[in-house]
Amino acid sequence: MNMHTQPQRTPAETALIDAFGERLSLLPGDGAVMLKRDDAIEAIKHGLPTRRVESWHYTDLRRLLNAVPDFDPAAAVKAIAPIVEGSAVLAVLNGVSSTKVPAVEGVTVQRLSEKLIDGSIAPGLDPYGSDDAIGALNTAFVADGYFVDIADGVELDKPIELQNLQAGGQTHVRLPLRVGAGAKAVIVERQTGDGAALVSSVSQLVLGEGAEVTWLIVQEQPETATHLAQFKAHIGKNAKLTLFVMNAGGKLVRQEIMVKTTGEGADFKLRGINLLAGDTHSDVTMVLDHTVPHTTSTEVIRNVVTGKARGVFQGRINVHQYAQKTNAKMACNTLLLSDDGEFSTKPELEIFADDVVCGHGATVTEIDHDHLFYLMARGIDEKSARGLLVKAFVAEVIEELDDETIVEALEARLDDWFVAHG
Among 141, 146, 147, 343, the residue binding another protein under the rule CB under 8 A is: 343
Nearer to another protein, 181 or 364 (CB): 364
- Per the DSSP assignment, residues forming a β-bridge with 297 are 268, 328
CB atoms within 10 A of CB 350: 12
Nearer to another protein, 159 or 341 (CB): 341
Nearer to another protein, 110 or 345 (CB): 345
First to last CA, the chain: 59
- SS3 assignment, position 320: coil
The verdict on 415 binding another protein (CB under 8 A) reads no
Instruction: Give the Å distances, CA to CA, from 293 to 6, 265, 327.
Output: 45, 8, 10
Judged by CB under 8 A, the stretch of 14-22, 156-164, 232-240, 364-372 that binds another protein is: 364-372
| Cα 275 from chain centre | 14
The verdict on 348 binding another protein (CB under 8 A) reads yes
The verdict on 129 binding another protein (CB under 8 A) reads no
The verdict on 336 binding another protein (CB under 8 A) reads yes
Nearer to another protein, 351 or 388 (CB): 351
Among 188, 297, 334, 401, the residue binding another protein under the rule CB under 8 A is: 334
CB of 78 to another protein, least distance (A): 40
Please spell the DSSP secondary structure of 93-143, one letter per residue. ETTEE-S-----TTEEEEEHHHHHHTTTTGGGG--SSTT-HHHHHHHHH--
The verdict on 372 binding another protein (CB under 8 A) reads no
What span, in angstroms and rounded, lies between the C-alpha atoms of 43 and 197? 22
Among 344, 371, 389, 400, the residue binding another protein under the rule CB under 8 A is: 344
The verdict on 325 binding another protein (CB under 8 A) reads no
The verdict on 298 binding another protein (CB under 8 A) reads no
Nearer to another protein, 268 or 343 (CB): 343
CB of 126 to another protein, least distance (A): 25
Residue 189 contacts residue 175 (beta carbons within 8 Å): yes
Among 32, 362, 375, 388, the residue binding another protein under the rule CB under 8 A is: 362
Judged by CB under 8 A, the stretch of 99-107, 138-146, 353-361, 382-390 that binds another protein is: 353-361
Q: Give start and end residues of each alpha helix (H) in 176-240.
A: none
Among 175, 341, 385, 395, the residue binding another protein under the rule CB under 8 A is: 341
Nearer to another protein, 362 or 375 (CB): 362
The verdict on 361 binding another protein (CB under 8 A) reads yes
How many residues of this chain bind another protein (CB under 8 A)?
35
Residue 111 contacts residue 142 (beta carbons within 8 Å): no
The verdict on 15 binding another protein (CB under 8 A) reads no
The verdict on 352 binding another protein (CB under 8 A) reads yes
Among 105, 354, 402, 404, the residue binding another protein under the rule CB under 8 A is: 354
What span, in angstroms and rounded, lies between the C-alpha atoms of 360 and 281? 24
The rounded radius of gyration (Å) of the Cα atoms in the chain is 21
Residue 231 contacts residue 260 (beta carbons within 8 Å): no
Of residues 47-76, those binding another protein (CB under 8 A): 54, 57
For residue 30, give every residue at least 6 positions away whose Cβ sits within 8 Å of its Cβ, in sequence order, or none: 119
The verdict on 370 binding another protein (CB under 8 A) reads no
For residue 364, give every residue at least 6 positions away whose Cβ sits within 8 Å of its Cβ, in sequence order, or none: 334, 336, 343, 345
What span, in angstroms and rounded, lies between the C-alpha atoms of 74 and 333? 43
Nearer to another protein, 40 or 385 (CB): 385
- SS3 assignment, position 379: coil
Which residues contact another protein by CB under 8 A?
A: 54, 57, 321, 324, 334, 336-339, 341-366
